[in-house]
């Protein structure tokens, strides 16, 4: 897209070479065949999100909650990272990526090949679980569990390692994310609605600290209103153009 290349050409090269910071939302995984949180099919539409993703809902019906996550895990493991995820890996390989702050719990950034120290899964991940009563036992998954609810070795139950309604984000993850917004001068958002706080505030923190903000999304959002460049449409197409062009500028 000429719009993208023209914008990149006008950027200070130092902004790019210092590494881009990314804030990733659910829209980045749609091209992999995953629906957003509130778009799941079947009888789960008859349940409030809080019934399926909260400590209260888990205490009330752990089997229902695990059934829902089992379904999401199966879909996630069957799906594959898309062009957005692979482009982020390419940027890292060329030392042009600082950090990925993702709201997604699907684990695609790890599976695509980004380094763990470059990924902040700020809402957790469904590829892990931990003891509901915090005994310290954790499980890792590369397939969905066959028997649910998943029992912990201590006699309690395991729960998916995601941040549920009514829970606070990991303080270290949040602090790291906020620090990046205050220090880095080039922030890119992909597929995020800008409606889920406190992550939705991150691009605004960056903007208030003088950063250039670029937003890739299928629809306008509060973020696109403050972005220096808003690229509307499927990000798996436009973001690859963006990342490939940036890499071409630094490849001799």
pLDDT in tens, 153-193: 999 999 999 999 999 999 999 999 999 999 999 999 999 98
pLDDT tens-digit readout, 184-195: 999 999 999 888
Tokens matching residue 14: 């130092």
**Catalytic residue of the set 85, 86, 109, 123:** 123
As a whole number of Å, the end-to-end CA separation of the chain is 22
Q: Which of 182, 187, 181 is nearest to 227 (CA)?
A: 187
- In degrees and rounded to multiples of 5, residue 152 shows phi and psi of -90, 155
All structural domains of the chain, each given as residue ranges with its CATH number in brackets, are 2-34+79-122+169-250 (3.40.50.1220), 37-77+129-162 (3.30.1600.10)
43 is a catalytic site residue = no
153 within 8 A of 177, measured Cβ to Cβ = no
| Rounded Cα–Cα distance for residues 212 and 219 (Å) | 20
For the chain, helix (H) and strand (E) counts, in that order, are 11, 9
How far is C-alpha 138 from the chain's CA centre?
A: 22
Q: Which helix (H) or strand (E) holds 26?
A: none
Cβ atoms within 10 A of the Cβ of 38, count?
9
- Predicted TM-score (pTM) of the model is 0.93
Q: Which residues pair with 190 in a beta bridge?
A: 24, 216
> 3-state class of 242 per DSSP?
helix
The answer to whether residue 42 scores a pLDDT higher than 80 is no
| Rounded Cα–Cα distance for residues 102 and 79 (Å) | 18
pLDDT tens-digit readout, 185-221: 999 999 998 888 999 999 999 999 999 999 999 999 9
Quick one: 48 exposed, middle or buried, by C-beta within 10 A (0-12, 13-18, 19+)? exposed
| Rounded Cα–Cα distance for residues 221 and 241 (Å) | 22
Query: Taking all residues of the chain, what is their mean pLDDT, rounded to a whole number?
Result: 92
Q: Which residues pair with 213 in a beta bridge?
A: 187
pLDDT tens-digit readout, 114-167: 999 999 999 999 999 999 998 999 999 999 999 999 999 999 999 999 999 999
- In degrees and rounded to multiples of 5, residue 128 shows phi and psi of -135, 160
pLDDT confidence band for 251 (50 / 70 / 90): confident
């Amino acid at each position: 897209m000429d719009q993208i290349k023209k914008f990149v050409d006008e950027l200070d090269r130092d902004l790019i070479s210092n590494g881009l910071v990314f804030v990733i939302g659910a829209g980045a995984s749609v091209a992999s065949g995953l629906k957003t949180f509130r778009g799941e099919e079947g009888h789960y539409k008859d349940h409030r999100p809080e019934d399926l993703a909260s400590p209260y809902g888990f205490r009330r019906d752990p089997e229902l909650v695990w059934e829902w996550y089992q379904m999401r895990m199966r879909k996630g493991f069957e799906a594959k990272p898309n062009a957005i995820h692979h482009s982020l890996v390419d940027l890292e390989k060329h030392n042009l990526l600082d950090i990925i702050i993702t709201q997604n719990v699907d684990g695609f950034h790890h599976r695509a090949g980004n380094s763990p120290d470059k990924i902040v899964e700020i809402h957790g991940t469904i590829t892990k679980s931990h003891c509901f009563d915090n005994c310290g036992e954790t499980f890792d998954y590369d397939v969905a569990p066959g028997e649910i609810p998943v029992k912990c070795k201590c006699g309690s139950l395991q729960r998916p390692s995601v941040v549920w309604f009514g829970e606070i984000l990991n303080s270290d993850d949040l602090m790291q994310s906020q620090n990046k917004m205050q220090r880095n001068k080039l922030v890119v958002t992909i597929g995020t609605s800008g409606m889920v706080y406190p992550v939705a505030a991150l691009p605004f923190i960056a903007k208030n600290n003088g950063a250039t903000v670029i937003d890739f999304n299928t629809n306008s959002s509060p973020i696109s209103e403050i972005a220096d460049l808003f690229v509307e449409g499927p990000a798996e197409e436009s973001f690859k153009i963006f990342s490939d062009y940036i890499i071409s500028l630094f490849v001799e």
